[in-house]
Structure 1
Amino acid sequence: MTEKETQTMEEEAIEQEPNAEEISEEAEQTEELSTEESHQAEVTELNNRLLRVQADYDNFRRRSREEKESAAKYRSQTVIEALLPVIDNFERALLVKPETEEAKALLQGMEMVYRQFQEALKSEGVEVIETVGQTFDPHLHQAVMQVEEEGFESNQIVEELQKGYKLKDRVVRPSMVKVNA
């Protein structure tokens, strides 16, 4: 090779070799890109966490509101449960046949009080569960006896032994019933 060709090859090699400035610029650009990418990844992660926290908070608010509404809807349940034996005894007392005029007057007064009591319960959303002639429903009725009676279909309620009550859509006390086999 001639000296000129060797010199040309050396110049080309020098041109192809990156100098220190170019290497440091590329390193800075790469570093900037990796820093920017890491910041972007961190922003994305924080946004995702924020969305999850917001969803959790919305769910908490919804559950709290539902619990508050439920508590308000059924606030009188414990009082009603305590009054059910009183109602049962009231109904038994009304079945007594009075023999004297005083007893008849007392019975009339008790009937008036009983009607007012029933109206007050109805205004709170208390309903008597229908039984005789209905199909047995384990969510509403408690079968305490099973008999074979003619005139009734299988699984049909023959007799009510104790009244059951619902408060709005919740069973407070199931009806005790006798069911046809």
Structure 2
Amino acid sequence: MQKDNQHANPRKRDEELNKEVTRDEEATVSKENEDKLTDAAVADQKQQDELQQKYDDLNNSYLRLHAEFDNFRKRTLKEKADLIKSGGERVLLDIISLVDDFERALVILHEAEDKDAMLEGMDLIYGKFINFLKQHGVKEIETIGLPFDADRFEAVTTIPAQDESQKGVVVDCIMKGYALNEKIIRFPKVIVGE
């Protein structure tokens, strides 16, 4: 019986040893898996932290750019409004100097008896007005003798042409037209031959 016990014992021992080895292997595998999972979790957390930092940086950059653009827009609107308010200042100062000339001419007209002096004064003021317009980019639109162009002229009436060369041509100008830097600001009113 002892032999049986000895046989039984070594078997039991083998089984117990196998169980222990299996438990140890499972514990080792389990510990390795835990280490791998922990490493993966740490790596995932690190990656998540990096992505969050990048997101925060990009969001801050976006907010700064948005604020800068908003400030730029407000500044340009204010500058434009200021320019519109004061943009005509130079023109008005030039007109005021012409008004001064007219006032002097009126004083002379009341005191003077010489028509030639009055005409000369008016011609000088007219010349100043024409120069003023030229300085500000305003040009008179030529009309008489040119073929009628509905895009550039406003026909008030037509008259019978005296000869063939006057048909469809501007024969008279009732009111002059002006262009500011090639853009028509007042269309000339003309009479066209037909």
Indicate the TM-score class for this superposition, using the shorter chain for normalisation: 0.5 to 0.7
Distance in 1 between residues matched to 2:176 and 2:45, nearest whole Å: 80
TM-score norm. by structure 1 comes to 0.57
Name stretches of at least 5 consecutive residues in structure 1 with no aligned partner. Answer: 84-100
Matches within 5 A, 1:6-45: 6-18=19-31, 22=35, 26-45=40-59
The alignment yields a C-alpha RMSD, in angstroms, of 4.3
Does the C-alpha gap of structure 1 residues 11 and 157 become closer, same or farther in structure 2, counting only changes over 3 Å?
farther
Shift of 1:110: 2.8
CA deviation profile, 1:18-62 (whole Å, cap 9, x unmatched): 489745565444333312211211212322343444455556666
CA deviation profile, 1:111-141 (whole Å, cap 9, x unmatched): 3332233233333433212223156263x53
TM-score norm. by structure 2 comes to 0.54
Between structure 1 and structure 2, the one with the greater Rg is 2
Q: Secondary structure at the match of 1:151?
A: helix
Q: Please tell me whether residue 117 in structure 1 is matched to residue 129 in structure 2.
A: yes
Matches within 5 A, 1:5-154: 5-18=18-31, 22=35, 26-55=40-69, 57=71, 75=89, 76=91, 103=115, 106-132=118-144, 133=146, 136=149, 138=151, 140-145=152-157, 149=161, 150-151=164-165
Please say if residues 152 and 180 of structure 1, whose CA atoms lie closer than 8 Å, have aligned partners that are also in contact.
Answer: yes
Q: Secondary structure at the match of 1:136?
A: coil
Match of 2:175 in 1: 162
Q: Which has the bigger relative contact order, CA under 8 A and spacing at least 6?
A: 1
**How many percent identity over aligned positions?**
22
Please say if residues 136 and 179 of structure 1, whose CA atoms lie closer than 8 Å, have aligned partners that are also in contact.
Answer: no
Match of 2:102 in 1: none
Q: Which amino acid aligns with 1:47?
A: S
- Count of aligned positions: 159
Distance in 1 between residues matched to 2:160 and 2:28, nearest whole Å: 109
Q: Which amino acid aligns with 2:130?
A: Q
